[in-house]
């Protein structure tokens, strides 16, 4: 049985990925290493208690000694790196932790892969490394990197290190670049869960700028299926874009959420724009579709409904979050702009 070290498995996509793999396969053991930052939550994986194919270590991906210990003790064969500081707005407030985890942390994991001769290293990157598009065109894998925020610059830096380790040391690496995800367990600082929760609570829905920035949305389970396909069949040294061809202006999503919850559009509040706000992202996912036969299964409106229902049914999960540290961050974000 293959043992995969998943980093950042207590966050949004990592926890969905671990659940997806253990539910749909019987070939893997998963060792999850997560620092449990504000975004990491053990409750995201509470259902796995007692599953012999899963174990957890609290730890930092910058800690070379700890990772070496875990690799040997657990007979790890490969790494999938989800661990990151992931929120653009937080990176604008303070970039340092983004450089540490996203750049130095990735470098430590590459060194570990090299030292132990692991058979695969998958870097979970993002479409944001390509920068911003005008009204037409899509990102392909060879689009030049042109990151605009401290977050995307840190992710692009990590991608360059992965590329260099592959080229220089022949390290068996693959990079994935996915568009915006939504679904269960997403931390309520991101657009969709924040708007759902504010709408449920009848609080203002803060839309940045004119609300016409476009993102390309994919349901998290479709992203997880793509990562597993890439892990199993992807070509070493390659980059794969992942996306579901679902471009939407932010304001349209906010209106859909209000409609689904039966709330009034008067809750929409246009607020000061995010500094350096990227205008449009759009992913061309032809390569993964033609080479690996992957395709998204979920239709946007249905999966958004499913997501809204999850937040309605799991209020304790997010109530604990919005009454904690998050409150301080939110106050700071609005005070400092
Ligand atoms: P998240 O913020 O929900 O989770 C990140 C996880 O990483 C948390 O559990 C956190 O505790 C952990 N972590 C942070 N620093 C760490 C460190 N130094 N050592 C160990 N663990 C650490 O993020 P997410 O939305 O699940 O994103 C996961 C990955 O996917 C990230 O690499 C992100 O760049 C990428 N990505 C996200 C999206 C999206 O729409 N959310 C889209 C494309 C790519
Ligand atoms: O309160 C808000 N109001 C608003 O208008 C928030 C939080 C966001 N927005 C806008 C900004 C963006 O145009 O909504 C859009 C989506 O914002 P986020 O959910 O913060 O995502 P984004 O900045 O696009 O980045 C996300 O997708 C790519 C993830 O956070 C990244 O980790 C991923 O790499």
Contacts of range 303-306, beta carbons closer than 8 Å, 24 or more positions apart:
303/182, 303/183, 303/219, 304/182, 304/192, 304/253, 304/256, 304/257, 304/260, 305/260, 306/183, 306/219
Distance CA 197, CA 186 (A): 12
CA–centroid distance, 88 to ligand 2, in Å, is 7
* Residue nearest atom 34 in ligand 2 by C-alpha distance: 126
- Of 34, 60, 85, 128, which one is the catalytic site residue? 128
Residue 243 Cβ contacting ligand 1 at under 6 Å: no
Render pLDDT for 322-332 as a digit per residue (tens, 0 to 9).
987 777 777 77
Render pLDDT for 162-199 as a digit per residue (tens, 0 to 9).
999 999 999 999 999 999 999 999 999 999 999 999 99
pLDDT, mean of residues 236-256: 98
Query: How many angstroms separate the first and last alpha carbons of the chain?
Result: 51
Q: What is the pLDDT of residue 212?
A: 98
Distance CA 97, CA 13 (A): 20
Instruction: Please report the sign of the dihedral spanned by the C-alpha atoms of residue 47, residue 49, residue 55, residue 59.
Output: positive
- Of 28, 54, 130, 151, which one is the catalytic site residue? 151
Per-residue tokens: 83: 């661990």
CA–centroid distance, 181 to ligand 2, in Å, is 10
| Residue-wise burial string across 185-203, b where 16 or more C-beta atoms lie within 10 A, e elsewhere | bbbbbbbbbbbbbbbbeee
Name the closest ligand to CA 38: 1
**Is 232 annotated in the active site?**
no
Q: Residue 321: pLDDT above 70? A: yes
Q: What is the pLDDT of residue 328?
A: 77
Helix (H) or strand (E) run with residue 78 in it: strand 78-81
**Is 127 annotated in the active site?**
yes
Q: Residue 277: pLDDT above 80? A: yes
Name the closest ligand to CA 190: 2
Q: Residue 337: pLDDT above 80? A: no
Beta strands in 213-275 (DSSP E): 214-219, 239-242, 247-249, 268-271
pTM of the complete model beyond 0.95:
yes
Render pLDDT for 13-32 as a digit per residue (tens, 0 to 9).
999 999 999 999 999 999 99
Length of the chain as a residue count: 337
Q: What is the pLDDT of residue 11?
A: 98
Instruction: Please report the sign of the dihedral spanned by the C-alpha atoms of residue 243, residue 230, residue 162, residue 105.
Output: positive
Q: What is the pLDDT of residue 219?
A: 99
User: What does the DSSP 8-state code read for residue 36?
Assistant: -
Taking every pair of C-alpha atoms in the chain, what is the biggest distance, in angstroms? 57
* CATH top-level class of 2-182+218-242: alpha beta
* Residue nearest atom 5 in ligand 1 by C-alpha distance: 11
Q: What percentage of the chain reaches a pLDDT higher than 90?
A: 95
User: What's the gap between Cα 158 and its chain centre?
Assistant: 15
CA–centroid distance, 47 to ligand 1, in Å, is 20
Distance CA 178, CA 188 (A): 20
CA–centroid distance, 263 to ligand 1, in Å, is 31
* Structural domain spans, the chain: 2-182+218-242
- Mutation pick for ligand 1 pocket among 37, 43, 285 (CB with most ligand atoms within 8 Å): 37
**Is 151 annotated in the active site?**
yes
């Amino acid at each position: 049985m293959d043992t995969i070290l998943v980093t950042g498995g207590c966050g949004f996509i990592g926890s969905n990925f671990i659940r997806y793999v253990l539910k749909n396969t019987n070939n893997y053991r998963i060792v999850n290493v997560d620092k449990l930052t504000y975004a990491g939550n053990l409750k995201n994986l509470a259902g796995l208690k007692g599953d012999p194919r899963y174990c957890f270590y609290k730890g930092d991906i910058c800690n070379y000694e700890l990772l070496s210990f875990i690799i040997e003790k657990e007979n790890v064969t490969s790494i999938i790196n989800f661990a990151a500081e992931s929120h653009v707005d937080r990176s604008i407030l303070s970039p340092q932790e983004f450089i540490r985890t996203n750049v130095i942390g990735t470098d430590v994991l590459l060194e570990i892969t090299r030292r132990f001769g692991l058979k695969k290293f998958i870097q979970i990157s993002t479409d944001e490394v390509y920068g911003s598009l005008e009204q037409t065109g899509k990102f392909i894998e060879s689009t030049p990197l042109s990151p605009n925020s401290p977050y995307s610059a840190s992710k692009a830096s990590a991608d360059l290190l992965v590329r260099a380790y592959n080229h220089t040391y022949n390290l068996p690496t693959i990079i994935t670049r996915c568009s915006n995800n939504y679904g269960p367990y997403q931390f309520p600082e991101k657009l969709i869960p924040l708007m759902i929760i504010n709408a449920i609570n009848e609080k203002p829905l803060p839309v940045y700028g004119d609300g016409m920035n476009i993102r390309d949305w994919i349901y998290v389970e479709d992203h997880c299926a793509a990562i597993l396909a890439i892990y199993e069949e992807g070509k070493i040294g390659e980059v794969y874009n992942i996306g579901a061809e679902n471009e939407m202006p932010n304001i349209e999503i906010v209106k859909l959420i209000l409609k689904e919850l039966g709330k009034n559009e008067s809750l929409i509040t246009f607020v000061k724009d995010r500094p350096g706000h990227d205008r449009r992202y759009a992913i061309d996912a032809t390569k993964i579709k033609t080479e690996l036969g992957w395709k998204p299964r979920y239709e946007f409106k249905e999966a958004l409904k499913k997501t809204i229902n999850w937040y309605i049914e799991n209020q304790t999960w997010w109530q604990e979050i919005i009454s904690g540290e998050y409150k301080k961050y939110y106050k700071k974000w609005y005070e400092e702009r």
